[in-house]
Structure formats: C-alpha cells, structure tokens
C-alpha cells in the first residue's frame, strides 16, 4: 500500500502579492527617506561648520584690516621714520622736473630734450639730510 503523501494534503498559503509589493515599496521609500534624511543632516552639519568657518574668517579679516589700517596710518609711518632716523621733506621747487605731454607723437618732443646733466643740477639738495 502506497504511503500517503502528507505534503500533497497540506493547503498552500496564498502569498498576497500586492501586500508584499506594498511592504517592499514602503520599505524602499523608508530607506530612501532615511538616506535622504541622513544626507540632509550631514549637509546641515557641513553648512553649520562652514558658517562658523566663514564667521571666523570674517572676524579675522576685520582684525587684519584694523591692524593694516593702523600700520598704514600717517602717525605710525611718522613714528617709524623717526625710529629709523629718517627725515622726509617735500621736494623744493628746483627739485621737481615737470614732464608734460604736448600731444605730439614724436617721443623726442614729449619730454624735456635737454641733457639729463643739465636738468639734474649738481647742487640739488639732499632730501634725507
């Protein structure tokens, strides 16, 4: 007598395909959402860090600007000249050679055509005396 096949007698569990698809889709969407969320958070943190860095750099830039303005100030330059024993004087009238362009394209006529030795007088005053 042949043995009864038990497996044949078992009723098959019907797989709810739409349900499975829905679950898979939900799982997929959730995964995407979590990925996007973590990516957004990461970008947010980066933005925050960059904002801090920008603020820091801006503050540093302002500090440097302030220092530079102090260094460039006429009083500081005056002090520096004094510290190095330098005396700056404005040039005398006879120390200024005026160069004028008369509109001519001829280079020889643009500038004082006299020999340099005649223009630059030997008795000119030493400025930093």
Partner 1 sequence: MTDPRGSTRIFIIAACLGVAMVGLVVRLVVLHLGGVEQDRATVAKTRTFKQTLAVPRGRILDGSPTAGILALNVGVKDVWVDPAQLMASNRVSETVTRLKSLLDFDTAEITARLCKTNSRFAYIARQVPENCADVLAKLKLPGVFMNDASIRSYPQNQMLCHVLGSVNNDGVGTGGIEQLMEKFLKGSQGLIESRLDGHRREMVDRRTLEIPPKDGADVALTIDQNLQFMVEKAIDLAMEKNRSRAAFAIIERIRTGEILAMVSRPAFDPNHYRTARDQQKLNRTISYTYEPGSTFKVSVIAAALNEGIVTPGTMFDTENGRWLYQKKILRDYHSYPHLNVADILKKSSNIGAAKIAIMLGDARMSRYLRLFNIGSKMGIDLPGEEGGILAPLPKWSAISSSRIAIGQGVAVTGLQMLGVLCAIANDGMVMKPYLVKEIIAADGTVLLRRQPEVIGRPIRPDTAALMRSLLARVCEEGGTGVKARVEGFRVAGKTGTAQKVIGGHYSETDYMASFVGFLPAEKPDIGMIVVFDEPQPLHTGGAVSAPVFGEIAEQAVRYLGIMPVEGAAPVPSGPVPESNETF
Where does this chain bind partner 1 (CB under 8 A)? 40-41, 43-45, 47-48, 58-59, 62-63, 65-66, 68-70, 72-75, 78, 90-91, 93
- 33 or 68: CB nearest partner 1: 68
Distance of CA 76 to the CA centre of its chain: 29
Tokens of 10: 């078992």
Kindly tell me which of 16 and 91 has the beta carbon lying closer to partner 1.
91
Give the C-alpha separation, 14 to 18, whole Å.
Answer: 12
* CB-nearer residue toward partner 1: 28 or 92: 92
Minimum CB distance to partner 1, residue 91 (Å): 7
How far apart CA 115 and CA 127 sit, in angstroms, is: 23
Nearest distance from C-beta of residue 17 to partner 1, angstroms: 26
Residues 6+ apart with CB under 8 A from 127: 88, 89, 91, 95
Q: How far is the CB of 53 from partner 1 (least distance, A)?
A: 14
Nearer to partner 1, 68 or 111 (CB): 68
Tell which residue, 29, 8, 26, has the closest CA to residue 18: 26
């Amino acid at each position: 007598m042949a043995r009864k096949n038990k497996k044949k007698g078992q009723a098959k569990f019907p797989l709810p395909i739409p349900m499975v698809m829905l679950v898979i889709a939900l799982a997929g969407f959730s995964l995407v959402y979590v990925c996007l969320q973590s990516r957004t958070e990461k970008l947010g943190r980066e933005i925050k860090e960059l904002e801090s860095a920008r603020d820091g750099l801006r503050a540093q830039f302002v500090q440097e600007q302030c220092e530079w303005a102090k260094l460039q100030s006429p009083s500081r330059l005056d002090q520096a000249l004094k510290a190095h024993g330098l005396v700056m004087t404005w040039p005398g009238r006879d120390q200024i050679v005026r160069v004028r362009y008369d509109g001519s394209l001829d280079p020889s006529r643009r500038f004082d055509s006299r020999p340099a030795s005649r223009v630059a007088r030997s008795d000119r005053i030493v400025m930093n005396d």
